[in-house]
Structure 1
Amino acid sequence: FAATMSVRVLVASCPDLTDARIFALTHPRTGAAVQFVRTADALLEVHRFRDSAIPRSWLLGGQMEMVLEDGSLLLATPFDPVFLLLSHLDRSRYTPLGDALSGPHAAALEQHVASLPGIQRRLAAVCDVKDIDEESYVRLSDVKLLEWLRRKTDALTRHLQESKLVGPAPAAAAAAA
């Protein structure tokens, strides 16, 4: 995957990264600038893995035929774009999404996140939405947000249990006994 003339090895779960773009946004949990990849219909967070104790490199074949001295690995994992928008949403009033986006990465949020296919549907899961004169206005809903977080937590718990990464939930274990 080439970006601005630098070559990196990127592993992603998306089948087509042809038009993908790497860009920086503020991470909602840490506040640090983090790299993301936008594909046609998904947002991926980029994680960099490297072992500074042991020098590594990549041997790239195909048309490139080169040795890449930077042996780090970039892993792109799916990221729910709603998490990036939450801190910009207002609980007290309806606002057009574009007007709500602010901060150092507002332009990138609007270009890469607010324009994702299905983002209005995703926002409706955490916001009250009003359509006025062909423009959508959103207001963060605590009730919807808590339900959305509960569904995400339940889905993660089920996945971890099915993968045998954790045991059954305490309530389920007590009921089985």
Structure 2
Amino acid sequence: MNWWESPDGEIRVLIAPDKGTSGSDAGQLLSLRHPKSGTAANYLFINDGLHELQWFKKSHTSWFLGEYVCEDGSLYLSTPVDPVFIMLPIFEDARMKKRDDPGKFRQLDEILYIDGYPGYQHLLPVLENSMSVVCEVKDIGSTKFFRLDDSKVIAWLCAKVDRLKKTLLTLDKNYAAQDDKHTLAEVVSILGEYLRDKPWVELLCSHLRLDLQDLTRKADDHSSPVPDSGLQFSIQENGGAESTGKKSAKIVRPGKKVKIEKDSHNIKDMFSRATRSKTKTT
């Protein structure tokens, strides 16, 4: 756990992985587009892995940090996310597909040049292998060119559905008791938090023979923020869901989005121990 004090005195507490023996640096906080909404969101890139940031706040809580007390008991938690989810809308736009035309092959550094979002450049070293799973790749000399492939994306999403479904069945016996189609809809609803409705949610529902309108209604039923919930799901590279609490599994959305950081920052500089001349008290 680390904490950081901003110039205006605001304290932020973050639980994140240590760089460890295999870490190449102290990590970077990156501002990237959320794959569903397209709005700016914070992500942590550390140990060649991408993490999304969740925000938690319970009433009547404080932090004891070193020799002083932080009245705001909120918490930022980093959870791993498969970078393919984050990159799908970027690669979808980059191929410039029109009707039956499959689109263009493009180089990675060209695809990752997003005006106002320099953070994508930090992901270049890990995306060549990650995006090969959902892209056609052509080697011309020593240069690789990528183009998103719909059939590969659907196959990848179906693998995610299968793995996440198995995880849900182990998290809560209620999933094992309910109709298989209902569980499948719950799984797609979770994945839908990271996917554009068009084309991916629609194509996935069509492939799985699910009713998209019914799925949308289920998502709306779970749209109310639950800031005190003991469980949050993280879509990881293994396609499963990771629980951060012990309560029965429920599909929830974060009660509050994390604040946006401009560009990228060194995590070591941001989350160093705050020093104060006087001890704060509540």
Superposition pairs for residues 52-91 of structure 1, below 5 Å? 54-61=59-66, 65-89=67-91, 90=95, 91=102
- Counterparts of 1:9-24 in structure 2, within 5 Å, are 9-12=13-16, 14-16=17-19, 19-24=26-31
In structure 1, give the amino acid aligned to 2:72: D
Q: Once the two structures are superposed, what CA deviation does each residue of 1:88-139 show, in whole Å capped at 9, x if it has no partner?
A: 221411100111234445421112x2223xx222111100011223221100
Q: For residue 94 of structure 1, what is the aligned residue in structure 2?
A: 105
* Deviation digits for residues 65-91 of structure 1 (CA, Å, limit 9, x no counterpart): 332233111111111111121112214
Deviation by residue 1:137-161 (Cα, 9 ceiling, x = unmatched): 1000011010000001111001111
- 1:39-59 C-alpha deviation (Å, 9 max, x unpaired): 0221100011124xx353210
What is the total number of aligned residue pairs between the two structures? Answer: 162
- Residues in 1 aligned to 2:75 and 2:49: alpha-carbon distance in whole angstroms: 20
Q: Give the AA of the match of 1:100.
A: I
Paired position in structure 1 for 2:36: 29
- CA positional deviation for 1:4: 7.4
Looking at structure 2, the residues matched to 43 and 76 of structure 1 have their Cα atoms a distance apart, in angstroms, of 9
Tell which deviates more after alignment, 132-141 or 3-12: 3-12
Identity rate, percent? 31
Distance in 2, matches of 1:31 and 1:163, equals 31
Structure 1 residues 96 and 106, CA gap change in structure 2 (3 angstroms): farther
Going from structure 1 to structure 2, the CA distance change for 1:2 and 1:20 (only over 3 Å counts) comes to farther
Partners of 2:32 and 2:13 in 1: how far apart?
A: 21
- Of the three residues 52, 55, 65, the one matched with 1:48 is 55
Counterpart of 1:59 in structure 2: which amino acid?
F
The structure whose RCO (Cα within 8 Å, separation 6+) is larger is 2
Higher share in strand: 1
Secondary structure at the aligned position of 1:161 is classed as helix
Q: Return the alpha-carbon distance in structure 1 between the equivalents of residues 4 and 86 of structure 2.
A: 23
User: 2: CA distance between counterparts of 1:3 and 1:148?
Assistant: 38
Equivalents in 2 of 1:4, 1:101: separation in Å?
32
Q: Which of 15-24 and 32-41 deviates more?
A: 15-24
**Alignment RMSD (CA, Å):** 2.4
Paired AA for residue 145 in structure 2: Y
Q: Is the 8 A contact 1:28 1:87 kept in 2?
A: yes
Name the residue aligned to 1:124.
Answer: 132
Cα deviation for residue 23 of structure 1 reads 2.3
- In the alignment, what sits opposite 1:174? none
Instruction: Evaluate the alpha carbon distance shift between residue 38 and residue 133 of structure 1 in structure 2; reply closer, same or farther with a 3 A threshold.
Output: same
Candidates 119, 134, 142, aligned match of 1:134: 142
What SS does structure 2 have at the residue aligned with 1:167?
A: helix
Pick from 157, 170, 176 the counterpart of residue 180 of structure 2: 170
The residue that corresponds to 2:118 in the other structure is: 107
Residues 33, 39 of structure 2: 8 Å contact kept? yes
How far apart, in 2, do the equivalents of 1:29 and 1:97 lie?
21
Contact persistence 1:45–1:76 (CA under 8 A): yes
The structure 1 residue matched to 2:154, chosen from 133, 146, 149, is 146
User: What 5-or-longer segments of structure 2 have no aligned partner?
Assistant: 96-101, 182-282
